[in-house]
Amino acid sequence: MRTIKSTLGAIAILISSSTFSQNNQVYFPYFELINLDESKDLQYSTSRLIKTYIETNHDYHILLPEKTDNYFDLNGYASAIEEAQNREAEFVMLGEIHSLDGDYIVSLGMYNSKTGKKLWHDLIKGVSQEDLDPLLSRLGRNFMKETKARDDVEIGEVTDYEQQGVALQQIKVNHFMGLMVGANTLIGDQTLSGFGLAYSYDANTVLFNVNFDFYPSSSVVINAELLEEKKQSANFNLGILYPLSRKRMTWFLSGGMEYGMVRIDAEGFELDPERVSGVGLFAGGGYLINRNSTVNLRIQAAISFPTYKIRDTYHPSLKFGIVTSFTK
């Protein structure tokens, strides 16, 4: 009985996988090159690339024609549909690479091989053959999605065409200088508003940050019984920002080490101000907007853990800020 059940289970799995495989097979008769030299190498390499990008990101198996020594002629839409049916592929994919006045336009469409109905289509533009790889990567990643490939830019995928765009002003940048406005709240105490300077170096996978923040005088109560007091605080910190995706807009985590300074003045009394300083650690996160633009915005929050005491008490603090960064 156990043998029969095992056999039936294996047959069921085989049938299921066979059906799944057939339902996700896509026949693609290579890219058609328009207004380009009919280079079999360019045609084959771009077709293999889009196959790889689609299969890496989605549950589709792309079927290509046998490789030949010559440029592959599509022979029309009807011929592609017929070949897809012969291969029992549920879908057929058609693509074109146009060259027009120095621009490269890549077009890709998906059709039902039985009805011929268009299921999906997208196109994207570049200005050189060097742009083709990032363009194909975006098309493959957004295959059969509503998101347009032109809007899905990951770091490192900025094309020469986009670098020329005035609206996007996308550039490959590493160094940013910025200004911060925010607040520093001693937990259980008042909130101080402040400002600061920020420097960032984008190392692709992470960003290294150097910041100086200053929070001017404000009334505070730190174990004070009778005296009205004013406080100033400042810190210099070194940190790492880790983006959670390679998109232009992404959530991030951050953390690092800081050197903090606190000064407390008693109002109305000729007393020397109290000064304390020391190192601390911080951890937080936030949201990064337009990461690889000439101007980006960072909304952040962090909790700081000082290793020094203020009036014999450790005072962790919450910091909130908005950083606007620029590059030349």
**318 in the same domain as 295:** yes
Residues 75 and 181 grouped into a single domain: no
Residue type (1 letter), 15: I
Close Cβ partners of 304 (under 8 Å, ≥ 6 residues apart): 235, 258, 260, 280, 281, 282, 316, 317, 318, 319
Number of domains the chain contains:
2
- Cβ atoms 227, 201 nearer than 8 A: no
Please check whether residues 104 and 188 belong to one and the same domain.
Answer: no
Domain-located, residue 169: no
Same domain as 221, residue 249: yes
Same domain, 319 and 184: yes
- pLDDT score recorded for residue 168: 38
Residues 179 and 319 in one domain: yes
- The verdict on 139 and 187 lying in the same domain is no
Structure tokens at 42: 């360019």
Query: Is residue 4 one of the residues assigned to a domain?
Result: no
- CATH number for the domain spanning 42: value is 3.40.50.10070
The DSSP code for 115 is T
- Cβ-Cβ contacts under 8 Å for 309 (sequence gap 6 or more): 276, 315
- Same domain as 320, residue 199: yes
Q: Which of 132, 163, 194 is the last residue of a domain?
A: 163
Rg value, the chain, Cα: 30
9: in domain: no
Does 202 map to a domain?
A: yes
Contact 123, 104 (CB under 8 A): no
Do residues 235 and 215 lie in contact, with contact meaning Cβ atoms separated by under 8 Å?
A: no
Gap between the Cα atoms of 181 and 193, Å rounded:
8
- Pairing between β-strand 250-266 and β-strand 207-220 as defined by DSSP bridges: unpaired
Domain boundary among 112, 143, 163: 163
Sequence-separated (6 or more) residues with CB below 8 Å from residue 54: 26, 60, 62, 140, 143
Same domain, yes or no: 50 and 151: yes
Structural domain includes residue 244: yes
Closest by alpha carbon to 172, among 297, 292, 288? 292
Which of 125, 143, 163 is at the close of a domain? 163
Q: What is the DSSP letter of 144?
A: T
Q: What single-letter DSSP state applies at residue 25?
A: E
Low-confidence residues of the chain: pLDDT under 70? 1-23, 38, 154-173, 217-229, 267-271, 328
Residue 156 has a pLDDT of 60
Note whether residue 208 is domain-resident. yes
Fill in the amino acid letter for 148: K
Residue 315 and residue 270 share a domain: yes
Give the CA diameter of the chain. Answer: 96
| pLDDT one-digit tens code per residue, 203-258 | 878 999 999 999 886 655 545 454 566 778 899 999 999 999 877 789 999 999 99
- CATH number assigned to the domain comprising residue 280: 2.40.160.20
Measured distance CA(204)–CA(155) in Å, rounded = 7
Q: Do 272 and 150 have their domain in common?
A: no
Domain that holds residue 182: 175-326
pTM above 0.75, yes or no: no
Which residue do the tokens 């690339």 mark? 49
Specify if 241 maps to a domain.
Answer: yes
Residues 143 and 101 in one domain: yes
- Let me know if residue 8 belongs to a domain: no
What integer pLDDT is reported at residue 19 of this predicted model?
43
